[in-house]
């Protein structure tokens, strides 16, 4: 009789065949009941609705939206084809979003079909599909297939959306307008449909976005066909972000407009930069001093369980994957080693920038090296394929719990030169730092490591204004990710700019904790050892929990104050690092938790 593992392996073979070609969405009747139930129970399949399944991961939590968002558009395409055959298409609004590289998963997608029933189908994580009944399908020449989705062409989308769409979604509209090579496709539809009013606001939109020749061509052609066309600007005041080069790739137009639209929000909240440091050695010494805290927080934000002790072992070279099996197998240790190797190269880039080298150009030249060092230990240990270090990704990526989906991998090659051009031409260091961080993550050029790379990039850009190296704390993770979502989904830069500005202000104040008072006291009510430091004239209460002393220093059944005194140097140093990074409690005190100072015992 087959074992449970053998039965699961048999079911996985069936799933592997179904997933050929990258499929993620299946009808229930494509899998036998036995295999289906076994794969669902073990987390390899997830039910969307009765009769439909998607690929999932056993490691995904119940609240993890990633499998669904990764399958969303494929589900819409397969479900619509199953119901309507070839007689369906996405709405003109959603078609224009797709042409404009707006990649956010919509809360509701509208599918139009002559067979529609005007019904809302509720789906996972608050999303839905509305099947809109329409009298007939559009002409075939006005539709295009992309990624399995039937869309209006770019020209047809611009004509089919209402005029109000231009002012409600000015960025997407302008991205698509800028991508037009000429006016031919627009004119064919305008003339054949007799759309004189539409011609008027399209000509106005083209003119205010710098496409005068196309605007004139539309007006002349329509008037020669005896149509009365009155040109008007459909955008509201302040909605024209940047005049782009003709026929710009949509991702190029999107990035340039996002940058122009968002930079004012950064300038409004950011502290004035101190300028390039006169004492460059002191600046780089500060970078060295903040390394341990930066690595702890940056790696922890990404979900790695990394302790300061492990970070210190990596820095001093006592981490040895060739001789220590635990080091070789530890994902966290590999990440810590890679971070240290990359950090050293980033510090070299910082040195060049504070020496006067152009920040954008420096990051452009070095960022691939940072990335390779970040993952070199994982490649050496066989955890990551060597080919993954070749360069930018060649597959889709999805962000855990976020409706924002990074651009198609095919668009990344167009996006990155534009990104570095924006960094090069931006005069404000604060804007380079904040928008550089955000848009690097927005593009997500790599399959992994984008958050760490974005924070490295941010600090190189901060150095160009003399701002100190700034740490994003683990305690800020929820607000940090929410602010990134607010920028990427809602196009609201203020929360993210304010969060970074707040952290930079703390770093600018140069907080330093000194421990002149060597008295300590165990607080039986709170179960912590209390000790005190000084920041200038400010007395700072510090504490280490009983659990931290027990777990990290083997203090079980021992006097806690005695254990504290034996390890005072390490405890005070970590308190100093936390304070310098602004990792304080709401009242400004320092609390060291279990695991923060874990020691590896051999």
pLDDT in tens, 537-578: 899 999 999 999 999 898 888 999 999 999 999 999 999 988
Alpha carbon distance 206, 202 (integer Å):
6
pLDDT for the residue numbered 317 = 65
416 in the same domain as 285: yes
Claim to verify: residue 87 and residue 144 sit in the same structural domain: yes
Domain boundary among 444, 474, 508: 508
Pairing verdict, β 45-49 and 52-55? antiparallel
Q: Is residue 598 part of a domain?
A: no
Q: Is residue 228 part of a domain?
A: yes
Is the domain of 431 the same as that of 532?
A: no
Q: Which uninterrupted H or E stretch holds 313?
A: helix 308-316
| Domain-located, residue 301 | yes
Parent domain of 30: 4-59
**Angstrom distance (rounded) from CA 598 to CA 602:** 13
CATH assignment of the domain containing 411? 1.10.3290.10
Looking at the fold, whether 308 and 456 belong to one and the same domain comes out as yes
Is 281 among the domain residues? yes
Assess whether 492 and 346 both reside in one domain: yes
Secondary structure of 518-573 as H, E, C letters = CCEEEECCCCEEEEEEEECCEEEEEEEEHHHHHHHHCCCCCCHHHHHHHCHHHHHH
> What pLDDT score does 309 carry?
62
Same domain assignment for residues 370 and 481? yes
Is 158 a domain residue?
yes
Asked if residue 447 lies in contact with residue 388, where contact means CB atoms within 8 angstroms, the answer is yes
Contacts 24+ apart (CB under 8 A), 367-372: 367/453, 367/457, 369/345, 370/342, 370/345, 370/346, 370/453, 370/456, 371/342, 371/446, 371/449, 371/453
- Cα torsion 308, 313, 314, 319 to 10°: value is -130
Same domain, 504 and 569: no
What pLDDT, on the 0 to 100 scale, is given for residue 245?
84
Written as one string, the DSSP assignment of 155-198 is HHHHHHS-HHHHHHSHHHHHHHHHH-S-SHHHHHHHHHHT-HHH
Q: What are phi and psi of 422, to 5 degrees?
A: -65, -40
- The CA distance from 88 to 147, in Å, is 15
Clarify whether residues 198 and 238 are in a common domain.
yes
Check residue 602 and give its pLDDT: 32
171/26 same-domain check: no
Contact 216, 223 (CB under 8 A): no
Please report whether residue 515 resides in a domain.
Answer: no
Are 265 and 233 in a shared domain? no
For the chain, residues with pLDDT lower than 70 are: 304-329, 598-602
φ, ψ dihedrals at 286, nearest 5°:
-65, -35
Q: Which residue has the tokens 């390779």?
A: 372
Q: Which of 508, 538, 566 is the C-terminal boundary of a domain?
A: 508
Cβ pair 262, 435 in contact under 8 A: yes
Contacts (Cβ under 8 Å, ≥6 apart) of 216: 203
Tens of pLDDT, residues 217-263: 999 999 999 999 999 999 999 899 888 888 889 999 999 999 999 99
User: Residue 76 half-sphere exposure, CB side, CA atoms within 13 Å?
Assistant: 32
- Asked if residues 381 and 328 have their Cβ atoms less than 8 Å apart, the reply is yes
> How many C-beta atoms surround the C-beta of residue 190 within 10 A?
24
How far is the CA of 243 from the CAs of 206, 290, 317, 383, in angstroms? 10, 42, 52, 46
- The three-point CA angle 348-350-351 to 5° equals 65
Q: Is the pTM of this model over 0.95?
A: no
Order the strands of the 528-535 sheet from edge to edge. Answer: 520-523, 528-535, 538-545, 590-592
Q: Is residue 600 part of a domain?
A: no
Same domain for 199 and 347, yes or no, is no
For residues 496 and 484, what is the distance between their CA atoms, to the nearest angstrom? 6
Number of domains, the chain: 4
What is the pLDDT of the chain when averaged over all its residues?
Answer: 92
- 458 shares a domain with 337: yes
Contact 439, 255 (CB under 8 A): yes
The DSSP string of 330-383 is -HHHHHHHHHHHHHHHHHHHHHHHHTT--HHHHHHHHHHHHHHHHHHHHHHTTS
State the CATH number of the domain containing residue 559. 3.30.160.140
Look at residue 451 and tell me if it is in a domain: yes
Q: How many CA atoms lie within 13 A of 542 on its CB side?
A: 29
Which of 488, 470, 334 has its CA nearest to residue 399?
488
Domain boundary among 246, 273, 296: 246
């Amino acid at each position: 009789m087959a074992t449970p593992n053998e039965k699961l392996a048999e079911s996985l073979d069936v799933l592997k065949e179904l997933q050929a070609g990258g499929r993620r969405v299946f009808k229930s009747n494509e899998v036998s009941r036995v295999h289906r139930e076994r794969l669902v129970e073990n987390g390899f399949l997830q039910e969307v609705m009765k009769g439909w399944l998607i690929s999932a991961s056993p490691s995904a939590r119940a609240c993890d939206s990633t499998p669904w968002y990764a399958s969303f558009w494929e589900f819409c395409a397969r479900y619509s084809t199953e119901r309507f055959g070839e007689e369906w298409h996405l709405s003109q609004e959603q078609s224009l979003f797709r042409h404009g590289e707006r990649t956010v998963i919509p809360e509701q997608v509208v599918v139009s079909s002559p067979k529609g029933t005007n019904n809302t189908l509720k789906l996972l994580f608050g999303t839905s599909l509305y099947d809109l009944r329409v009298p007939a399908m559009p002409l075939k020449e006005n539709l295009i297939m992309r990624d399995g989705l039937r869309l209006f062409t770019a020209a047809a989308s611009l004509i089919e959306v209402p005029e109000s769409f231009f002012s409600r979604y000015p960025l997407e509209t302008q991205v698509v307008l800028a991508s037009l090579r000429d006016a031919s496709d627009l004119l064919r539809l305008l003339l054949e449909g007799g759309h004189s009013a539409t011609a008027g606001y399209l000509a106005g939109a083209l003119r205010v976005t710098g496409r005068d020749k196309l605007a004139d061509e539309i007006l002349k052609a329509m008037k020669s066909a005896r149509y009365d066309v009155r040109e008007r600007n459909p955008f509201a005041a302040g909605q024209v972000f940047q005049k782009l080069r003709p026929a710009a790739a949509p991702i190029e137009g999107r990035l340039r407009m996002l940058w122009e639209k968002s930079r004012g929000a950064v300038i409004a909240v950011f502290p004035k930069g101190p300028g390039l440091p006169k004492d460059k050695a002191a600046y780089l010494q500060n970078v060295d001093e903040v390394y341990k805290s930066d690595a702890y927080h940056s790696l922890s934000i990404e979900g790695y369980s990394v302790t300061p002790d492990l970070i210190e072992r990596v820095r001093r070279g006592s981490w040895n994957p060739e001789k220590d099996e635990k080091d070789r197998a530890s994902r966290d240790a590999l990440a810590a080693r890679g971070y240290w190797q990359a950090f050293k190269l980033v510090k070299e880039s910082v040195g060049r920038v504070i020496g006067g080298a152009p920040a954008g150009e420096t990051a452009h030249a070095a960022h691939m090296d940072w990335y390779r060092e970040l993952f070199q230990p994982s490649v050496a240990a066989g955890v990551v394929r060597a080919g993954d270090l070749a360069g930018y990704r060649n597959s889709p990526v999805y962000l855990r719990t976020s409706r924002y989906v990074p651009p198609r991998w095919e668009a990344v090659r167009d996006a990155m030169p534009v990104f570095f051009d924006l960094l090069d031409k931006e005069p404000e260091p604060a804007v380079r730092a904040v928008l550089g961080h955000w848009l690097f993550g927005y593009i997500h050029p790599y399959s992994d490591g984008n958050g760490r790379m974005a924070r490295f990039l941010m600090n190189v850009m901060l150095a160009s204004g003399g701002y100190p190296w700034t740490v994003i704390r683990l305690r800020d993770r929820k607000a940090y990710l929410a602010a990134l979502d607010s920028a990427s989904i809602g196009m609201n830069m203020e929360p993210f700019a304010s969060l970074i500005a707040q952290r930079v202000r703390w770093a600018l104040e140069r907080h330093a904790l000194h421990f002149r008072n060597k008295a300590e006291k165990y607080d039986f009510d709170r179960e912590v050892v209390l000790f005190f430091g000084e920041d200038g004239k400010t007395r700072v209460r510090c504490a280490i929990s009983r659990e931290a002393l027990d777990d990290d220093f083997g203090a079980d059944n021992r006097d806690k104050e005695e254990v504290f005194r034996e390890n005072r140097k390490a405890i005070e140093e970590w308190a100093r690092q936390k304070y310098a990074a602004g990792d304080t409690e709401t009242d400004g005190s320092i609390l060291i938790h279990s695991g923060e100072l874990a020691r590896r015992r051999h």
